[in-house]
Amino acid sequence: MPTPLPAAYFIAASGKAAALAGLDPADLAKEDFVAVFSGNAVPPRSVPLSAVYSGHQFGHWAGQLGDGRAILLGELEGPEGPMELQLKGAGMTPYSRMGDGRAVLRSSIREFLCSEAMAALGIPTTRALMLTGSPQQVVRETIESAAVVTRMAPSFVRFGSFEHWHYRGKQEELRILADYVIRDFYPELQGAENPYLELLAEVTRRTARMIAHWQAVGFMHGVMNTDNMSILGITLDYGPYGFMEAFDVDHICNHTDQGGRYSYSNQVPVGHWNCYALANALLPLIKDKEAAEAALDGYIDAYGDRFDELMHAKLGLGTVQEGDKALFDAMFRLMHENHVDFTLFFRRLGELRLDVLDNERTEADAPLRDLFLDRPGFDAWAVDYRARLRQENSQDAVRREAMQRVNPKYVLRNYLAQTAIEKAQNGDFSEVHKLLAVLEHPFDEQPENEAYAALPPDWASHLEVSCSS
């Protein structure tokens, strides 16, 4: 059962998430809704529960984990299907171990905003319905105030949910869990000769495609433990995440990750590793090691195909031609060497023109070119890029419009989140509301919000995020 939160108050709600749950967002600020979504009241038909799971953390077996501060209230039927509603930070559970079951305002704002920002970017993710706060103090590195984020998903079952029963030798419970997941979320697999093998294959493909989306927008999860991997292939558990700014292929967004296991460049292989951990847990049901390994091989193709598709779209290329990979590799190498801002580069790339005279090119390319210290290096790459565009008779206006639909102008940069957090810690939640509104339309120009698309200020380079929340 949730532990009541003293003097709970409404902070923010997502109208788009509310619609998915069949709720009226205008109701969420009302007293009775605040009571339910802060853990101070339980709806009459709700039977709250927390789930047990285990997992590999930073590559090492951690044993039993579980919902240490997450409490599932139940399920609501929405227009696109059932959605589970879960309170994060509503008090201790049987799996809290040494924790207090609470979440702090800082991390709750980050999860609330990023869940909705990722959804607006078209990336599979859990959703954030509502954010409530309380003056109750919570001890982390410092004393902070408590908050509860209500998050939603069709299911919160994780890779670690299967690992838990496998490592305990509980094959019947493992089968029950797998049958439940297949019946409710992968019903098309029920008639397969080996539905557990097909489940592994489909989850592997979904995971690969999700991570391709992460890489394409420069998103870094920060803690890709197997207990943070969704069996539905959706982004789960927003902790020390980050969006790439000055591009560094080996960037580590999580200050706790000293070894760089979850760096940007490692997200793809770690995702594959996690699928192997899931395969190992499902093997007693699959009963065919070679078939399981073949299913895991689908990860490489699924990732490669989706990432290639996304890169062609991001560069405004309507056809696939020999040499495209070399063009992409040269681009990323140049970006890495010059620490170019990831989001600004792709957004401004859409403004590059073919219909410009050679002697006017330097001035015309300046907004994009000036992101690079090695301007001759950029010029050389731009020559190859323009030649590639001409091969398919690309038209500037058409290409620009298409590229703006896939290259966001606005992402949740750490400094934007930090500004909203600091204001909220002083009782001003206006920046949380403002950021949510901006991030719900990441591809729109929004000239009135131009400041939210700017390069980060100098002080932002000192921001650190860690697993502590």
466 assigned to some structural domain? no
Tell me how long the chain is.
Answer: 469
Asked if 174 and 286 sit in the same domain, the reply is yes
The kind and range of the H/E element at 173 are helix 171-185
Reported as a pLDDT band with limits 50, 70 and 90, residue 468 is: low
455 assigned to some structural domain? no
**321 residue type, one letter:** Q
Could you tell me the two tokens for 21? Answer: 């749950």
pLDDT surpasses 80 at 152: yes
Could you tell me the two tokens for 419? Answer: 């500004």
The burial of 326, by beta-carbon neighbours within 10 Å (0-12 exposed, 13-18 middle, 19 or more buried), is given as exposed
- Residue pair 55/227 in contact (Cβ under 8 Å)? The answer is yes
Q: Which of 153, 185, 210 is the last residue of a domain?
A: 153
- Residue pair 139/216 in contact (Cβ under 8 Å)? The answer is no
Could you tell me the two tokens for 145? Answer: 């105030």
Q: What is the set of active-site residues? A: 227
Q: Say what the pLDDT of residue 339 is.
A: 97
164 assigned to some structural domain? yes
Distance from C-alpha of 192 to C-alpha of 447, rounded to nearest angstrom: 52
Reported as a pLDDT band with limits 50, 70 and 90, residue 458 is: confident
Distance from C-alpha of 242 to C-alpha of 414, rounded to nearest angstrom: 7
Asked if 386 and 288 sit in the same domain, the reply is no
Asked if 133 and 165 sit in the same domain, the reply is no
Asked if 260 and 363 sit in the same domain, the reply is no
Asked if 127 and 169 sit in the same domain, the reply is no
- Residue pair 400/443 in contact (Cβ under 8 Å)? The answer is no
Asked if 225 and 328 sit in the same domain, the reply is no
Asked if 130 and 92 sit in the same domain, the reply is yes
Helices (H), 370-456: 375-391, 396-404, 414-425, 430-439
The pLDDT of 411-427, averaged and rounded, is 96
User: What is the domain range of residue 294?
Assistant: 159-314
Q: What is the pTM of this model?
A: 0.96
Asked if 380 and 283 sit in the same domain, the reply is no
Asked if 114 and 224 sit in the same domain, the reply is no
Asked if 148 and 167 sit in the same domain, the reply is no
458 assigned to some structural domain? no
pLDDT, tens digit, for every residue of 37-54? 999 999 999 999 999 999
Asked if 179 and 285 sit in the same domain, the reply is yes
Closest of 314, 312, 313 to residue 323, by C-alpha: 312
Q: Which of 153, 185, 201 is the last residue of a domain?
A: 153
pLDDT surpasses 60 at 76: yes
Q: Say what the pLDDT of residue 164 is.
A: 98
| Number of domains within the chain | 3
Which residue's entry shows tokens 């899931």? 278
Which residue's entry shows tokens 């380079």? 461
Q: Which of 153, 170, 203 is the last residue of a domain?
A: 153
pLDDT, tens digit, for every residue of 252-265? 999 999 899 999 99
- Residue pair 127/151 in contact (Cβ under 8 Å)? The answer is yes
Contacts with 444 (C-beta within 8 Å, 6 or more apart), sequence order: 409
